[in-house]
């Protein structure tokens, strides 16, 4: 179907009210999806938005993340939206400079049966998974793909690292960190206050005041003490939840800590074994010294007795 006949079909089937409802429904479905919407600019004639699109798995584009621009015309869904990559991508069917896409299902073969979210769930992943070098917008990429698939994959990965690397996900937001620091400060202040109350209560009990006012003051102190203890327990609960949040969102750090603890335990065991071996050697050495001492004493006593016998013989 040529462009003139297609325009005639659009003009005959186009209903502004139905098209508006359909466009609003498809945009709402896209906004409620898992895709991160970066820009959303509605207008009377066109609707512009951009979202984050991650490369499909098991492809050289897997580690990449692109911002994809979408221009939805007034005649949507009878007229296809315009799609383009805003950051650079090396692909035979995507223009390297403009980011425009050569894909029949988005251009000539578009049908009102398709929805906006189908572009990101189906069409773009298939385009990156199965590039078509026979109908290129980037002839250089198509030529490299035809000659050597491995070189093409390496070039794609280099472009991904340079123009479209995925940003690391923060495990804990700044607001959560600030809340955790504030709760920790609260806990320290509460503990200090509780210690002051306990010292005051001990002093009151030591004075053994029997007046009614003193008893009332002691009762009030006990109530404040109970309230303060409940407050500290609540803060402890908050801190434990924060610590569990950090542990669950940072498994690598926990694994490193556990590995370090295991290594320290092994070092302790090795040190104990070494110290035991040293003690055994020292004990054997002491026994050897004692045996040598006994032998030497025996020899000396025998020598002395022989000398005495010689002197007695001479005198005789």
Q: Is 65 exposed, middle or buried (0-12, 13-18, 19+ CB in 10 A)?
A: middle
Q: Does residue 55 contact residue 128 with C-beta atoms inside 8 Å?
A: yes
- Eight-class DSSP state of 56: P
Query: Does the annotation count 102 as an active-site position?
Result: yes
CB-based contact 119:27 (threshold 8 Å): no
Element (H, E) at 65: strand 65-72
Q: Nearest to residue 12, comparing CAs of 20, 4, 22, 2? A: 4
Rounded distance between C-alpha atoms, residue 161 and residue 67, angstroms: 15
- Catalytic residue selected from 37, 102, 117, 187: 102
With CA atoms as reference, report the closest residue to 118 among 207, 231, 33, 226.
33
Q: Exposed, middle or buried: residue 44 (CB in 10 Å: 0-12, 13-18, 19+)?
A: exposed
Q: How far apart are CA 213 and CA 205, in angstroms?
A: 13
Asked if residues 6 and 111 have their Cβ atoms less than 8 Å apart, the reply is no
> Are 55 and 71 within 8 A, CB to CB?
no
DSSP classification of residue 181: H
144: nearest Cα among 136, 126, 58: 136
CA 199, CA 205: separation in Å to the nearest integer?
10
Active site residues: 102
């Amino acid at each position: 179907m040529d462009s003139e006949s297609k325009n005639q079909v659009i003009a005959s089937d186009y209903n502004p009210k139905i098209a508006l409802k359909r466009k609003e429904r498809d945009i709402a479905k896209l906004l409620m999806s898992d895709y991160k919407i970066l820009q959303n600019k509605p207008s009377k004639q066109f609707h512009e938005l951009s979202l984050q699109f991650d490369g499909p798995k098991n492809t050289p584009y897997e580690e990449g993340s692109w911002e994809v621009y979408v221009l939805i015309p007034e005649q949507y869904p009878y007229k296809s939206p315009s799609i383009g990559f805003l950051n650079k991508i090396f692909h035979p069917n995507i223009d390297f400079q403009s980011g425009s896409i050569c894909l029949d299902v988005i251009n000539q073969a578009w049908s009102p049966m398709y929805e906006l979210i189908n572009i990101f769930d189906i069409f773009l992943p298939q385009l990156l998974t199965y590039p078509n070098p026979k109908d290129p917008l980037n002839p250089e990429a198509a030529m490299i793909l035809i000659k050597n698939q491995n070189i093409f994959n390496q070039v794609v990965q280099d472009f991904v690292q340079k123009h479209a690397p995925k940003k690391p996900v923060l495990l804990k937001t700044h607001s959560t960190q600030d809340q955790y620091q504030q709760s920790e400060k609260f806990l320290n202040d509460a503990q200090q206050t509780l210690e002051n109350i306990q010292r005051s209560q001990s002093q009151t009990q030591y004075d053994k005041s029997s007046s009614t006012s003193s008893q009332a003051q002691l009762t009030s102190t006990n109530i404040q003490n109970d309230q303060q203890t409940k407050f500290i327990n609540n803060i402890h609960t908050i801190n434990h939840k924060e610590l569990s949040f950090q542990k669950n969102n940072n498994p690598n750090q926990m694994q490193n800590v556990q590995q370090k603890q295991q290594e320290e335990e092994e070092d302790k065991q090795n040190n104990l074994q070494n110290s035991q071996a040293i003690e055994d050697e020292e004990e054997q050495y002491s026994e050897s010294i004692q045996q040598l001492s006994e032998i030497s004493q025996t020899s000396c006593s025998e020598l002395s007795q022989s000398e005495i016998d010689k002197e007695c013989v001479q005198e005789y």
